[in-house]
Amino acid sequence: MTMRMLRASFSLISIAVLLACMAGCGAVIAGSAAALGTYVYIDGQTQGNYETDLPTAFAASLNACADLSIPVTRETRETTSGTIEGVLSGDRVHISLDLKAENVIRITVRVGLVGNENASRRIHSAIAMHLPTPRPGN
């Protein structure tokens, strides 16, 4: 093998190792973010997991709607899920809450038919303001 071939092989192996490491780190970062109450925008809706119970998350969602002047047109709450619907600037708002594990609630927000990321994130931020801050170690 020539020196040029060795360098090319080393470069390819280095790139492959770096890509493999980056892919794993991304999954770890995304998983950590979800556990901390942050949210992601996917397919026109914003989803986030919160460490709280369903009654607290439902009340926080209703309070967020009031804070943002979103008139609630419909609300339903079951044992493990709930939905809140309203209107923001003429667009339909749909908030769904689902129990994912003990004291872990997934809140999904969609604004409008195809989704509005900024409005959805504002609603999530308002919901988070009404939730208790998780204590370290919990």
Q: Block means of pLDDT (10 residues each) for the chain, length 138 residues?
A: 57 57 46 54 92 96 97 97 97 97 94 94 95 63
pLDDT score at 122: 95
DSSP 58-124: HHHHHHHHHHTT--EEEEEE-SSEEEEEEEETTEEEEEEEEEEETTEEEEEEEESSS--HHHHHHHH
pLDDT score at 23: 52
The domain defined by 38-138 folds into TATA-Binding Protein (3.30.310)
pLDDT score at 26: 43
pLDDT score at 33: 37
pLDDT score at 14: 56
The rounded Cα 106 to chain-centroid distance in angstroms is 8
